[in-house]
Amino acid sequence: MKNIRIIAISVVLMNFIHCRAQTYPLNTDYENIPSYSYIKDLNNELNSYIGIYKAIYQGNETTLYITKVEHILKERTTKTYYMDAIVVRYTVKNSSGTVLQDTQNNLNNKFYSIRTFPQENIVALYYPGTNCGVGYGTVYLSKINPNQIKWIYRPEGRIFVNKDEECPGNPDTKVYLPVTEDLIFTKQ
């Protein structure tokens, strides 16, 4: 009986050791790794983007609050895994200082990195959009120097015929982020 317990405990421990997540470099395609693996920023590629950045576009001031989060759980339809990412929250104010949009305390309305292009010094981020996903798309940030990043925002289209039926709650479906390319943000 004692031997059976020892064998059972040994089997459980061996399974635990073998099931530990494997670590892969940041740009590894999640489709090519086992479930519950960890895509880690081994070379600290994301660190240079961390900070607070501001830019003015069409009279509105946009402030980006960029942080790095490690070991985020990502659940896709095909796989669950962990990854390191930069997370961006933001505020947009008009020329008189009125806040048009502020996502600093909104856990659902932030964007996060999905891929880096180290040779070009670019990071791609997924933006889920504003209310009801309006404006969802991809943002590209490229590091120009230690104090500046270049912004490219490519929203996807989403149109509502009847906003009350298709977008309950907050009816504001305006995209306040700068929809442009080559906008320069300066670190504060």
Identify the pLDDT of residue 17. Answer: 42
Would residue 141 be called left, alpha or beta, if left means φ above 0 and alpha means ψ between -120 and 50 degrees?
A: beta
3-state secondary structure 73-106: EEECCCCEEEEEEEEEEEEEECCCCCEEEECCCC
Q: What is the pLDDT of residues 105-122, one digit of tens each?
A: 876 668 899 999 988 999
Q: What is the pLDDT of residues 14-50, one digit of tens each?
A: 444 444 569 999 988 889 999 999 999 999 999 999 9
Q: Where are the domains of the chain?
A: 2-187
- One-letter amino acid identity for 133? G
Mean pLDDT over the full length of the chain: 85
- Read off the pLDDT of each residue in 57-71 and give the average, rounded to a whole number: 97
Sign (positive/negative) of CA torsion 31, 34, 38, 43? negative
